[in-house]
Copies of this chain bind each other. A is one copy, B any other.
Amino acid sequence: MDEIRSLGLPESSLPEPIRRTALHDTLVGRLRDMIIEGHLSPGTRLNEGQLGQMLGVSRTPLREAIKYLASEGLVELVPSRGAVVKRFGAKDVKDMLSVLATLEELAGRLACASARDEEIAEIRALHDRMVRHYKAGDRLEYYKLNQAIHTRIVAISGNAALAEVHGMLQTRLKRIRFVGHEGPEKWAAAVGEHEEMVAALEARDADRLSEVLGRHLKKAWERVSETLEGAGR
Does A227 lie at the interface of the complex (its beta carbon under 8 Å from any beta carbon of B)?
Answer: no
- Nearest B residue (CB) for A172: B161
Task: Assess whether B169 is in contact with A79, with CB atoms less than 8 Å apart.
Answer: no
**Which of A40-48, A58-66, A129-137, A197-205 is the contact stretch?**
A58-66
| A34-70 residues at the B interface, CB under 8 angstroms | 60, 63-65, 67-70
Does A98 lie at the interface of the complex (its beta carbon under 8 Å from any beta carbon of B)?
Answer: yes
Does A125 lie at the interface of the complex (its beta carbon under 8 Å from any beta carbon of B)?
Answer: no
Residues of B within 8 A of A73 (CB): 164
- Nearest B residue (CB) for A79: B22
Does A220 lie at the interface of the complex (its beta carbon under 8 Å from any beta carbon of B)?
Answer: no
Residues of B within 8 A of A64 (CB): 63-64, 67
Cβ contact of A68, chosen from B67, B95, B164, cutoff 8 A: B67
List residues of chain A with CB under 8 Å of any chain B CB.
19, 21-22, 24, 60, 63-65, 67-73, 77, 79-80, 92, 95-96, 98-99, 102-103, 105-106, 159-162, 164-165, 168-169
- Known pairs A24-B67, A67-B68; A169 contacts B160 (CB<8 A): no
| Shortest distance from the beta carbon of A209 to any chain B beta carbon, whole Å | 15
Residues of B within 8 A of A165 (CB): 99, 165, 168-169
Task: Assess whether B159 is in contact with A80, with CB atoms less than 8 Å apart.
Answer: no
Task: Assess whether A19 is in contact with B80, with CB atoms less than 8 Å apart.
Answer: yes
Residues of B within 8 A of A63 (CB): 64
A105 CA / B109 CA spacing, docked (Å)? 16
Cβ contact of A22, chosen from B19, B22, B80, cutoff 8 A: B80
Task: Assess whether B60 is in contact with A95, with CB atoms less than 8 Å apart.
Answer: no
| Shortest distance from the beta carbon of A77 to any chain B beta carbon, whole Å | 7
Cβ contact of A162, chosen from B67, B80, B99, B164, cutoff 8 A: B99
| Shortest distance from the beta carbon of A6 to any chain B beta carbon, whole Å | 26
Task: Assess whether A161 is in contact with B92, with CB atoms less than 8 Å apart.
Answer: yes
Residues of B within 8 A of A65 (CB): 67
Q: Give 20 new A-B contacts, CB below 8 A, not counting A69-B71, A102-B102, A102-B106.
A: A19-B80, A24-B77, A64-B64, A64-B67, A65-B67, A67-B67, A67-B71, A68-B68, A68-B71, A92-B161, A95-B161, A96-B161, A98-B159, A98-B161, A98-B162, A99-B103, A99-B106, A99-B159, A99-B161, A165-B168
